[in-house]
Amino acid sequence: MAEVLSAGPSVQLNLVGLSKNDYRGAPTTLCQGCGHNSIANQIIAACYEANVAPERLVKFSGIGCSSKSPTYFLNRSFGFNGLHGRMPSVATGALFADTGLRGLGVSGDGDSANIGMGQFKHAVRRNVPMVYIVENNGVYGLTKGQFSATAEEGLELKHQGRNPYMPIDIAWEALVGGATFVARSFAGDPKQVKELIKAALGHHGIAVLDIISPCVTFNNQDNTYHSYAWGKEHEVALHELSYVPPAHEITVEYNEGEDKEVILHDGSSIILKKLDRDYDPTHRADALRVLEEANSCSCLITGLIYVDPAKPELTELYNLIDTPLNRLGEADLRPAPDTIAMINSLMF
Amino acid sequence: MSRKIVNDFSITVGTVNGSGSQTANTTILRALFKMGIPVSGKNLFPSNIQGLPTWYTIRVNENGFTARRAEHEIVICMNPNSFTRDLADVLPGGAFFYADDIKQPITRDDITIYPMPVKSLMRAQTDVPPNLKDLVANMVYVGILAQMLGIDLSTIKSALEFHFKGRQKPVDLNFNVVQSAADWAKTNLTKKDPYFVERTNKTEGLIMTDGNTAAALGAIYGGVQFAAWYPITPASSLAEELLEYLPILRKREDGKHTYAVIQAEDELAAIGMAIGAGWAGLRAMTSTSGPGLSLMTEFAGLAYYTEVPVVIWDVQRVGPSTGLPTRTSQGDLTFTHYMGHGDTEQVILLPGTVNECFEFGWKAFDIAEHMQTPIFVLSDLELGMNQWMTEPFRYPDTRMDRGKILWEEDLEKLNGVWARYKDVDGDGIPYRTVPGNKHPAAAYFLRGTGHDENARYSEEPEVWAANMARLKRKYKNAAKFIPAPIIEKTPGADIGIIAFGSTEPAIREARHQIETEAGLRSDSMRIRGIPFISQVREFIESHTNNYVVEMNRDGQMYQLLLTEYPDLSGKLRSIAFNDGLPATAKWVKESILALEVK
């Protein structure tokens, strides 16, 4: 707060005049090798490269290892680290204060799929204007290694024994809940993570990113779903994805007819370069099918699973004045003195 | 007929829940009010949509004593299932009106019995569509009662016009039934009971409304920008009245809104949203009742510790648990005061009249933003959902207080040097910035974890202790924003009576009764908020015996006073009881006299 980082003359600046350093936060206190650190770094890179003004982003988180991470990026953005599982409601209220703001939420599988499932699904249903990242590792870190609701059936953990329950699929829940942007990625695939974050920042409404983010301390056995080794071996990307900011020329190699371009609400676009299959993320039924397939194929399908750029976001449903609500004063907020007689006359 | 008794009795109407009797009952209430007679109406209803017995009780009193009475001179019975009980409830010498299709034995000869041919009168009403007949049938007892008591039919018409918002068709439909029932009574019934009403001027200049409407209007005059809520009896109508009046009072030429009201998925989300909005600089509120308040506890502690302004209305009902959802109580006081784990002290406002619901509705935002803390306003079902006579609402007499907010130009002047939790002014209240502020030094990271003055994570013992000590200083400072208690003095008073909230009419009447019947003179103090301010101590000190009267089992206000003033414990006595019904003067009087050793 007190120290304003300013870039030296030799440092490269982006289009909003900031260096990459301006997007950094405090040093991480998570374990070395934690997937969450890798994601924090990609958030920094994505915001820098996408020329995001830090004061237009508001960070939100709940409780858990993942929820600590917003301190590790975007020092110049406001942040609210609230209660376990209750990040969505706080973001929902806060984002009404100034509709020029976009939320950047970081949650975990315990925070969103266990204690916070209700709020998660209602934030999705309301299309809250935020990026909603779930750093998904299938395990509780801060309380030392208990199963979360995304742990696969049969997973064995040191002090917990065998997980008897079916896992909850974050991407599936988001999609079924009506999310307008659903993606899955893998912390071991930083390039894809970064491009997806950029696309999510350019999206209008909620963008749910289910990012498999291995816990090196409690759940990283080679043969388990949330491990680096398994992810690296089994990742199947739906496409190669690039984000093109608004008013930029598309410079990525692009095969018309074969590759796909999705134009987002702010004029930016996502180029989806075809890999092994034809996949159109604007079709909800296809999205549901691909997630179902991911369940049965023993593979980690990643990429942009679904996007609907047209649906209005929450605050647009309220016909709000253009001035940010939190800059309104008494003149706009308190009815005029002569109304009191009218109100009294409306009573019996 | 014995001596005529004018403008001094109670009426109880027993009906079936969901039968539309509420329109009929409030019509009687408003008609009496329009005649200038002080009245109160209390809906004693079951937690049910349709079918169970429900009662509405009206107190008519020329001297303005309108607390509930447990005794009824006049009983109207429309419900066969409550017939025996209703008949037994009439005071000797009273009157009993009943729908004559109820064929049950009349076992009393000490009262006047008036059968009402509801069915046959309704059969003659060919204008009433068959689907409305059951609803409109309640107007039969309105007409008959009006005729037998002397209620002016023109006042009934104005009450109906108000209820139906001037729509002529339903007004006519209902009034025709009232008129024909009154005509029937005039021809067919002989007045034998002594009870009459007569026009007077005791309600001149007053309005009639309920506390939840008043609270919503107050919040609107307080500039509410964000409200999140979840449906719960008896608080739902507070949020619904926001939706009713915001479009009228905050109408803009461009048609745009300066507010948002959201129905949340539960009370956790409702307070979470309100806290998010309050943190981001909006005048934010939520409204709920006991079970919802329980769910809000963790968030209440977070907002206290992270210093987020937010207003929480608790329209109290009977707990613990689901309890009696449609009955009134003052049982959330200690829970709310300490709401949150760890060392938490919450600031509470205690409105005791409908007018105060309005006043505290706007004031709560000023206090919340000035103090940067949650403000709880404890109303109750009795105040919130029943119709009350009250002084007209008064326009706020102070400008909005937005508290210590730093915007871009402020930070510019400070060269960007500031700290979120630093006590710059020595009052325990720090400065804050809100999202959207574009100054590069504006942002901070709010956390529910231990934090230093710069809002950075800290586990340092001295940092924690110093911050908690500052919060304590800040809380103590809140006292200067708490509305002063209402103190009424009698020269040479023997005792003090301490109360709060909706027991006000019962206390006022009880003071009159103990003085006239037992020669005991009293002072009274109605506390209007916590933390307690100096007048509270002074009042207690100035009486040997102070009776703390409240509608809960454990004497919660008594407990809080004992905790605050252990040195005055010998001067405090507890009178606490709750069965879900509004307090009566008789209960207050008898309880005090039982404890008062002469």
Q: According to the model, what pLDDT value does residue A8 have?
A: 54
Query: Which residue among A71, A76, A93 sits closest to B226, beta carbon to beta carbon?
Result: A93
Q: According to the model, what pLDDT value does residue B51 have?
A: 79
CB-CB under 8 Å, A334 with B222: yes
CB-CB under 8 Å, B435 with A78: yes
**Which tokens go with B365?**
């935002």
**How far does B132 lie from chain A, in Å, by closest CA?**
25
CB-CB under 8 Å, A330 with B436: no
Lowest mean pLDDT segment, chosen from B41-45, B452-456, B502-506: B41-45
Cβ neighbours for A66, distance < 8 A, ≥ 6 positions apart: A36, A106, A107, A108, A111, A133, A134, A135, A213
Query: Which residue among B250, B257, B444 sits closest to A319, beta carbon to beta carbon?
Result: B257
CB-CB under 8 Å, A89 with B262: no
Lowest mean pLDDT segment, chosen from A53-57, A253-257, B206-210: A253-257
**Chain A positions in Cβ-Cβ contact with residue B221 (cut-off 8 Å):** 334-335, 340
Q: Determine the residue of chain B that is closest to A77 in CA distance.
A: B443
Residue A4 clears pLDDT 60, i.e. is over it: no
Q: Determine the residue of chain A that is closest to B250 in CA distance.
A: A335
pLDDT in tens, B9-48: 999 999 988 888 999 999 999 999 999 999 999 998 888 8
Q: According to the model, what pLDDT value does residue B202 have?
A: 96
**Chain B positions in Cβ-Cβ contact with residue A89 (cut-off 8 Å):** 228, 264, 268-273, 276
3 state SS of B422: coil
**Chain B positions in Cβ-Cβ contact with residue A61 (cut-off 8 Å):** none
Dihedral in degrees, nearest 10, Cα atoms A262, A265, A266, A267: 40
CB-CB under 8 Å, B207 with A347: yes
Beta-bridge partners for B80: none
What mean pLDDT do residues B449-455 have? 97
Residue B306 clears pLDDT 60, i.e. is over it: yes
Specify the fold of A20-319.
Rossmann fold (3.40.50)
Q: Left, alpha or beta for B566 (phi > 0: left; psi -120 to 50: alpha)?
A: alpha
Q: Determine the residue of chain B that is closest to A70 in CA distance.
A: B445
Distance CA A256, CA A146 (A): 48
Whether ipTM tops 0.85, in short, is yes
CB-CB under 8 Å, B420 with A81: no
> Which of B273, B366, B393, B453 has the highest number of chain A CBs within 10 A, making it the mutation to test binding with A?
B273
Nearest to A340 by CA among B255, B397, B224: B397
Query: Which residue among A321, A334, A344 sits closest to B207, beta carbon to beta carbon?
Result: A344
**Chain B positions in Cβ-Cβ contact with residue A3 (cut-off 8 Å):** 441
Residue B147 clears pLDDT 50, i.e. is over it: yes
**Chain A positions in Cβ-Cβ contact with residue B432 (cut-off 8 Å):** none
Residue A257 pLDDT grade (very low, low, confident, very high; cuts 50, 70, 90): confident
**Chain B positions in Cβ-Cβ contact with residue A318 (cut-off 8 Å):** 257, 260
The DSSP symbol for B578 reads -
Query: DSSP letters of A272-311?
Result: EEE-SS---TT-HHHHHHHHHHHHHTTSEEEEEEEE-TTS
Q: According to the model, what pLDDT value does residue A2 have?
A: 47
- Domains of chain B listed by start with CATH number: 5-203 (3.40.920.10), 209-390 (3.40.50.970), 408-480 (no CATH), 486-595 (3.40.50.920)
> Which of A78, A127, A330 has the highest number of chain B CBs within 10 A, making it the mutation to test binding with B?
A78
**Chain A positions in Cβ-Cβ contact with residue B403 (cut-off 8 Å):** none
**How far does A62 lie from chain B, in Å, by closest CA?**
10
What mean pLDDT do residues A280-292 have? 94
Specify whether the CB–CB gap between A107 and A62 falls below 8 A.
Answer: yes
pLDDT in tens, B394-410: 999 999 999 999 999 99
What mean pLDDT do residues B493-505 have? 97
CB-CB under 8 Å, B420 with A322: no
Residue with tokens 């989806």: A272
Q: What does the mean pLDDT of chain B come to?
A: 96
Question: What angle (nearest 5°) sits at the alpha carbon of residue A223, between those of residues A222 and A227?
Answer: 55
Query: Which residue among B252, B272, B419 sits closest to A86, beta carbon to beta carbon?
Result: B272
Residue A22 clears pLDDT 50, i.e. is over it: yes
**Chain B positions in Cβ-Cβ contact with residue A129 (cut-off 8 Å):** none
CB-CB under 8 Å, B222 with A93: no
Contacts 24+ apart (CB under 8 A), B161-165: B162/A348, B162/B30, B163/B23, B163/B26, B163/B27, B163/B30
Q: According to the model, what pLDDT value does residue B134 have?
A: 87
Q: Determine the residue of chain A that is closest to B400 in CA distance.
A: A330
Write down the domain spans for chain A: 20-319
Query: Which residue among B30, B278, B436 sits closest to A101, beta carbon to beta carbon?
Result: B436
Q: Tell me whether the omega of the peptide bond preceding residue B80 falls within 30 degrees of 0, making it cis.
A: no
Query: Which residue among B245, B280, B394 sits closest to A97, beta carbon to beta carbon?
Result: B280
What mean pLDDT do residues A83-88 have? 98
Size of interface A-B (CB pairs under 8 A): 231
Residue A296 pLDDT grade (very low, low, confident, very high; cuts 50, 70, 90): confident
Residue A9 pLDDT grade (very low, low, confident, very high; cuts 50, 70, 90): low
**Chain B positions in Cβ-Cβ contact with residue A315 (cut-off 8 Å):** 260
**Chain B positions in Cβ-Cβ contact with residue A79 (cut-off 8 Å):** 443-446
CB-CB under 8 Å, A83 with B299: yes
Q: According to the model, what pLDDT value does residue B392 have?
A: 97
**How far does B97 lie from chain A, in Å, by closest CA?**
28
Q: According to the model, what pLDDT value does residue B526 have?
A: 98
**Chain A positions in Cβ-Cβ contact with residue B284 (cut-off 8 Å):** 93
Q: According to the model, what pLDDT value does residue A51 have?
A: 94
What mean pLDDT do residues A227-244 have? 95
Question: What angle (nearest 5°) sits at the alpha carbon of residue B178, between those of residues B177 and B179?
Answer: 90
pLDDT in tens, B183-196: 999 999 999 999 99
Residue A5 clears pLDDT 70, i.e. is over it: no
Kindly tell me the sign of the dihedral angle through the C-alpha atoms of B530, B532, B533, B536: positive
CB atoms under 10 Å from CB of A222, counted, come to 10
User: Which residues 114-153 of A are in CB contact (within 8 Å) with B?
Assistant: 118-119, 122
Distance CA A293, CA A303 (A): 14
User: Which residues 29-68 of A are in CB contact (within 8 Å) with B?
Assistant: 54-55, 58-59
CB-CB under 8 Å, B443 with A76: yes
Q: Determine the residue of chain B that is closest to A101 in CA distance.
A: B436
Share of chain B above pLDDT 90, in %: 94
Query: Would an 8 Å CB–CB cutoff place A108 in contact with chain B?
Result: no
Cβ neighbours for B478, distance < 8 A, ≥ 6 positions apart: B347, B367, B371, B373, B531
Nearest to B240 by CA among B268, B219, B212, B266: B212
CB atoms under 10 Å from CB of B205, counted, come to 7
> Which of B39, B265, B310, B359 has the highest number of chain A CBs within 10 A, making it the mutation to test binding with A?
B265
Distance CA A67, CA A84 (A): 9
Q: According to the model, what pLDDT value does residue A258 have?
A: 78
Residue A122 clears pLDDT 80, i.e. is over it: yes
